[in-house]
Chains A and B, each alone.
Chain A
């Protein structure tokens, strides 16, 4: 086994791993936010401290936060393999998953404003990602 990191040994393979991980990560994250949304649909407490404890009592919120934690771990690993400039725009694609799923699952309406807003936000995140490239 060579000690040379994969990023230097086989950059194309490292990039594929990073892109794959981030794509899986954004799906986990989308699921996390959908669970959080449906977890707040019941009678959740208004008091912040009570709300904090409520996260541990409500299975949907707990599952949502667990997936969110997992997403953070997957993202951290992916960042070891790939550049932020490629991964940032992919993370922003997560917004698209969430929007599609909230329309399908929660009957939220879709309109031209929302679509235009979504595309614009993703473009903005992509620009910042490119600007952060060293």
Chain B
């Protein structure tokens, strides 16, 4: 009881900015209605700030909102399943030592993900190359790679679950598709690459149709 009260209090406090904002609404009736609405919504959703592992689980079931996972980006053609090549039964024992590989040149040359300290088998599972693994050793399928990312990037992971980090498209109040980490970030080199901007606007002095 005490715990849930303090949670409500916390949520309400964090809503202060917003409440102050809507309190500016001049119409008294409107104000009361809004206040009530916001309080009701806040209270009813206070329990939703749980520890769900994917955004889909955060959704309030009363609403028509529905979160749909974006399709993870496709693998390079012919690369998956990895066990085609990385097969302990064929290749023998896995060498767990960090080293330069004679293959996967493309990935190795563009590996910028704490590359001084980390290498392939920190994320890819040594025994079953078709999955990833958490630091605990628990396997994670490629389609749920965000769990792996979230181990280190806890703040981004939390933001992503709330819809603050990352991108959602579709309907703001209905079916929305949320992008996975790997939809936007290359896991081997996650920093965004600079892109070419679209053209700047025409300057007012150059926009002169019809001038005499």
Is the pairing of A and B real?
no
Residues of A within 8 A of B (CB): none
Residues of B within 8 A of A (CB): none
